[in-house]
Amino acid sequence: MPQVVLVNPQIPPNTGNIARTCAATGTELHLVGPLGFEISDRYLKRAGLDYWPYVKLHYHESLEAFKTVHQERGGRWLGYTVGGNFSYVSFRYQADDWLLFGSETTGLPPTILSDCDATLYIPMSQPGVRSLNLSVSVAIGLFETRRQLGYLQ
């Protein structure tokens, strides 16, 4: 089952919305610190509503701590970025993929992007729009992954 990874998220409502999406799909959510908020933040809890008991949440204090978990489990790192090499719709996903997303303000750092097995982008028609909201991007990427793997039946 693919997993969602947020590296240094900054905005609690985005993370809460992503947690709801992960709860609805049974997808594990990994938060890699440092975070721009406290896990107990009321905006985070509000955005996640009463779905937190259904979220398979993992918190990693640092990228190094997260890398250790990834090495134990295996799978590819797929970094979502506006400068990605593959459109998310033409890429072929695998069940053990890790979908990595960066912070709302800076995206994934170059050091993480260089460690990714592939970098993906979501095509946008308007060149003046820099990016989509983080929670929207995660939902788009996760649902395409699930569609390709046959999890939407």
Please state the separation of Cα 80 from the chain's center in Å: 8
> Does 122 show up as a binding residue in the annotation?
yes
Q: Taking the CA of residue 103 as centre, how many other CA atoms within 13 Å lie in the half-sphere pointing to its CB?
A: 14
Please name the amino acid found at residue 7.
Answer: V
- Number of neighbouring beta carbons within 10 Å of residue 72: 7
91 forms beta bridges with none
> Does 131 show up as a binding residue in the annotation?
yes
Q: What are the binding residues for S-adenosyl-L-methionine?
A: 102, 122, 131
Binding residues: 102, 122, 131
